[in-house]
Amino acid sequence: MCGVIGYVGAGATPSFFLNALRRLEYRGYDSAGIAMLTQDGVVIQRAEGKLSQLERKLDKLPATAKVGIGHTRWATHGKPTENNAHPHRSGPIVLLHNGIIENYRQLKEMLVVKGYEFLSETDTEVAAHLLHHEYKNLTSGTPEQRMREALRVVVRQLKGAFAFGIICLETPEVLYSAKLGSPLVIGQADGESFLASGITALVEHTRQFLVVEDGEIVVLKAGQIEIESFDGKPVVRPFSRVEWSVAMMEKGGYRHFMLKEIHEHPLAIAQTLSGRVQRDSGSINLADLGVGSLPLKTLKRVQIVACGTSFYAASLSKYFIESVARIPVEVDLASEYRYRASTVDENTLVVAVSQSGETADTLQAIKSARAAGAQTLAVVNVPGSTIAHACHAESLTKAGPEIGVASTKAFAAQLTALYLVGLALAQERETLNQAELRFYVDEFVKIPSLVEKCLGLSESIERLANRYHQLSSLLFIGRGPQWPVALEGSLKLKELSYIHAEAYAAGELKHGPIALIDENMSVVCLAPRDAYYEKTLSNIEEIKARGGRILAVGQENDAQLQELADDFIGIPECSEAILPFITTVPLHLFAYWIAVRKGTDVDQPRNLAKSVTVE
């Protein structure tokens, strides 16, 4: 998704904008641009491709400017060319945008009739000309007052999603923005104000942030911000301090962010557990987990909505939550859930799981659930995210900033938070006694060190990758909770190495997919010693009988499985309850090393964005 950055203050250099845009690269992009406003006018530089292309033009920008905006574009309307890169200009207006203006065609036709000349294929340029048109139409008031009124008129005409960065040559020390549907945060430091698509862009300049809500216009000046609703009512919202550091966003000596973040699985789990479980009593701290305000005792059912990897974490948690809290749990793809007839009521808890907290499908799904009367909980990794603001309650996964587009440590943190929600339900509904609660808490506390042990498999899995990276297709199978683990493993392989991979519930093989098995097909089989072990072994036999190759993931001392498999990844012994945390790690490493071997862009795979804020 596009990245937006803006600055107003004593002075920012071209490098400030470029570095801030670099912190947003993980959002995915294909072109970029910067505009800087000085008393001599505005200078705009844009470039197709990676930021390194834009960097070559920095010397054409002013040495410093009091106001400026920057953008990384993930093309929606119009090819990724310099001409379509943001920002776009119309008279005194220079504007950039993250989102999609769905009614841009009608607006464009109206503006062409009024004589506006379009130089790009983008919907964004429509907004620039429209704002220019409305600004020109206003004859009374100061330029700033006319800009504010023109913005109010424009946002009421737009349909779709937008987060703007806007400068006007006639108000040389003011930055404007408006937000609907796309993420936008404001930062503030002494005598400086910032806007950005995400806090990672600004953490080296300030820790003071506030989230702009849908339907708000922001006017930023040096060290001063004003927020108003689209209909002009003032909005007052406090800044909050975010404890993310620059170091947390660097690679820390790892070759890729993704490898660093796989190695941060243990920390992400430990941080998400911290403060939320009392080991001696086995009790769950509801307030710290963020669920204290929810009617956990009287709920009749739970629905979980998510996308991608978050959906697999949710699917995994279903098994655990149903088993400990004895409450029905339905898990739905958010993109499907939001269009289906709702069956929720005040006794339904709908949980939105999202690393970014900005995924459009998940946001719309949880909004529809809340509108239908459900209790809502956000399990998110970014503090103050849009999805969190849309819910009654927020349970933060404490994985820290996840930069790699492929989600890894956030998955582990999501699983941790969701399992804790399961224990919180069990505690409040008394479906587990204190000894049982204590057992699970003791098992959860063991996970970080067990995952740490799994990370020691990295070198052996790197060697395995040399035998699998040239495959054109791969199957993943698992039973019970290992089925969503298989789904997650196949997604990681697909999105990182571009190898086709599919995952099946192992019991489904005989109902069709086994037709795919021959000597050219390899199958990753998740076969830990769980309740499904014997049946999974039978599946492995069926595959081998048809010439398929087996890469088995199972307990390190399982000689029988090692004998049966062509390749084997041994995980440490652990209780069945926490197996999914353990079996996921080898699959993340497997996908990573195959991608490295194939030379794909591990941290920013083609066509993907870290946060899909469009539908």
CA gap 360, 346 in Å, rounded: 24
**Per-residue DSSP letter, 566:** S
Q: Which residues contact 195 (CB under 8 A, 6 or more apart)?
A: 4, 5, 6, 165, 175, 177, 184, 185, 186, 187, 212, 218, 220
Give the number of residues written for the chain: 615
Q: How far is CA 148 from CA 124, 138, 220, 262, 573, in A?
A: 19, 11, 12, 46, 63
Of 88-96, 263-271, 306-314, 315-323: span binding ligand AGP (CB under 6 A): 306-314
Binding flag, residue 366, ligand AGP (CB under 6 A) = no
**Pick from 31, 397, 611, 613: which binds ligand AGP (CB under 6 A)?**
611
β-pair type (41-48, 31-38) = antiparallel
Report CA-CA distances (Å) from 80 to 89, 122, 286: 18, 10, 47
Helix (H, G, I), strand (E, B) or coil at 446: helix
For ligand AGP, which residue of 90, 98, 177, 309 counts as binding (CB under 6 A)? 309
Residue keyed to tokens 């080296």 = 204
Instruction: Print the SS3 string covering 550-563.
Output: EEEEEECCCHHHHH
* Residue with smallest beta-carbon separation from ligand AGP: 308
The Cα-based distances of 11 to 8, 194, 343 in angstroms read: 7, 12, 54
DSSP-derived 3-state class of residue 142: coil
Question: Which of 93, 268, 405, 450 forms a contact with ligand AGP (CB under 6 A)?
Answer: 405
Nearer to ligand AGP, 124 or 362 (CB): 362
Q: Applying CB under 6 A, which of residues 307, 503, 537, 543 lies at the interface with ligand AGP?
A: 307
Stretch that binds ligand AGP, among 3-11, 191-199, 267-275, 405-413 (CB under 6 A): 405-413
CB of 406 to ligand AGP, least distance (A): 4
Which residue, 151 or 199, has its beta carbon nearer to ligand AGP? Answer: 199
Other C-beta atoms closer than 10 Å to the C-beta of 236 total 6
**Closest approach of Cβ 310 to ligand AGP, in Å?**
4
Please identify, using beta-carbon distances, which residue of 315 and 611 lies nearer to ligand AGP. 611
Beta strands in 93-148 (DSSP E): 93-101
- Residue 206 or 309: the one with the smaller Cβ distance to ligand AGP is 309
Q: Which two tokens stand for residue 394?
A: 């927020």
Rounded Cα–Cα distance for residues 175 and 228 (Å): 14
- Does 362 engage in binding with ligand AGP (CB under 6 A)? yes
Residues 171, 177, 356, 497: which binds ligand AGP (CB under 6 A)?
A: 356
Choices 249-257, 259-267, 353-361, 530-538; region in contact with ligand AGP by CB under 6 A: 353-361
Select from 92-100, 250-258, 403-411, 565-573 the region that touches ligand AGP (CB under 6 A): 403-411
Spatial contact of 297 and 428, defined as CB atoms under 8 Å apart = yes
From the CA atom positions of the chain, what is the Rg in Å? 26
Q: How many residues bind ligand AGP (CB under 6 A)?
A: 15
For residues 465 to 504, the per-residue mask of contacts with ligand AGP, x marking binding by CB under 6 A and - elsewhere, is ------------------------------x---------
Q: Which is closer to ligand AGP, CB of 139 or CB of 607?
A: 607
Residue 359 binds ligand AGP, judged by CB under 6 A: yes
Q: Does 385 bind ligand AGP (CB under 6 A)?
A: no
If one asks whether residue 354 binds ligand AGP (CB under 6 A), the answer comes out as: yes
Can you tell me the distance from the alpha carbon of 202 to that of 5, in angstroms, rounded to the nearest whole number?
9
Shortest distance (Å) from residue 411 CB to ligand AGP: 8
d(CA 187, CA 194): 5
Tell me: does residue 72 bind ligand AGP (CB under 6 A): no
Is the CB of 219 or the CB of 360 nearer to ligand AGP?
360
In the block, which residue shows the tokens 């942030």?
Answer: 209
Catalytic residue annotation: 2, 610
Q: How far is the CB of 81 from ligand AGP (least distance, A)?
A: 26
Alpha-carbon distance 434 to 195, whole Å? Answer: 48
Angle at 583 between CA 332 and CA 563, to 5 degrees: 130
CA distances from 218 to 136, 301, 455, 457, 538 (A): 20, 40, 46, 50, 62
Which residues lie below 8 Å from residue 355, measured CB to CB, with a gap of 6+?
A: 309, 310, 380, 381, 382, 397, 399, 402, 407, 410, 414
Q: Between residues 309 and 427, which has the closer beta carbon with respect to ligand AGP? A: 309
Query: Can residue 310 be called a binding residue for ligand AGP (CB under 6 A)?
Result: yes
Q: Which stretch binds ligand AGP (CB under 6 A): 101-109, 190-198, 351-359, 538-546?
A: 351-359
> What does the alpha-carbon distance between residue 255 and residue 602 come to, in Å, rounded to a whole number?
10
Binding flag, residue 407, ligand AGP (CB under 6 A):
yes
Shortest CB 338 distance to ligand AGP, Å? 13
Only one of the segments 229-237, 354-362, 432-440, 585-593 lies at the binding site for ligand AGP (rule: CB under 6 A); that segment is 354-362
- Shortest gap between Cβ of 365 and ligand AGP (angstroms)? 11
Mark the segment that binds ligand AGP (CB under 6 A) among 200-208, 350-358, 516-524, 568-576: 350-358
CB of 334 to ligand AGP, least distance (A): 8
Q: Least distance in Å: CB of 199 to ligand AGP?
A: 14
Residue 395 in the binding site for ligand AGP (CB under 6 A): no
> Least distance in Å: CB of 261 to ligand AGP?
11
Cβ–Cβ contacts within 10 Å for residue 510, how many? 12
3-state secondary structure of 530: coil
- Considering only 355, 368, 395, 397, the residue that binds ligand AGP (CB under 6 A) is 355
Restricted to residues 173-232, the positions that interact with ligand AGP (CB under 6 A) are none
Does 406 contact ligand AGP by CB under 6 A? Answer: yes
**Looking at 122-130, 143-151, 277-285, 307-315, which segment touches ligand AGP (CB under 6 A)?**
307-315
Instruction: From 70, 165, 74, select the one nearest 613 (Cα to Cα).
Output: 74
Which residues of this protein are in contact with ligand AGP, per CB under 6 A? 307-310, 354-356, 359, 362, 405-407, 495, 611-612
